[in-house]
């Protein structure tokens, strides 16, 4: 299992008329968390894409416990719970001042850019992640 944490501050434009973070913005927050989690492991989306490997989202689930508002500093913990195969799963917990405000999950698929077909996780990516799993 590999866990990484980032902090994001809610911008005014990300809130709705009620003053809460608009629910759709969490997908963007989790994309930032996911990219930074992979970067911390030594993997960048840019390098994968340059090698013809795409990572589209296959599934996204979220459960909201309480809202966040403008200028809140959100702590997002991202966990890769299992070694990837043709898919990689990320689980997220968002906290505000130590209180859990949502949990989420995304499944992404490794896809060959040219064929558009799923493919196995590149071996070098698997090796970088394996050191975090016992």
**Residue ranges of domains in the chain:** 2-130
- With beta carbons less than 8 A apart as the criterion, state whether 107 and 89 touch: yes
Instruction: Give catalytic residue positions.
Output: 16
In the numeric block, the tokens 């698997």 are attached to 126
Question: Residue 89: which residues within 8 A CB-CB, separation 6 or more?
Answer: 80, 81, 82, 105, 106, 107, 108
CATH superfamily of 2-130: Hotdog Thioesterase (3.10.129.10)
Give per-residue pLDDT as tens, 33-75. 999 999 999 999 999 999 999 999 999 999 999 999 999 999 9
Q: What is the DSSP letter of 85?
A: S
Q: Model pTM?
A: 0.93
pLDDT at 133: 87
What would the pLDDT profile of 20-42 be if each residue is shown by its tens digit? 999 999 999 999 999 999 999 99
Tell me the average pLDDT of the chain. 96
């Amino acid at each position: 299992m590999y866990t990484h944490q980032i902090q994001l501050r809610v911008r005014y434009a990300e809130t709705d008329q009620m003053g809460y973070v608009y629910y759709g913005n969490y997908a963007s927050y989790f994309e930032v968390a996911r990219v930074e989690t992979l970067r911390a492991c030594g993997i960048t989306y840019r390098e994968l894409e340059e090698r013809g490997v795409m990572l589209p989202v296959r599934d996204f689930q979220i459960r909201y416990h309480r809202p966040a508002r403008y200028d809140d500093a959100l702590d997002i913990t991202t966990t890769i719970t299992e070694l990837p195969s043709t898919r990689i799963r990320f689980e997220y917990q968002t906290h505000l001042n130590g209180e859990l405000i949502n949990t989420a999950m995304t499944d992404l698929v490794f896809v060959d850019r040219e064929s558009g077909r799923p493919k196995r996780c590149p071996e070098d990516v698997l090796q970088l992640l394996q050191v975090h799993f016992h």
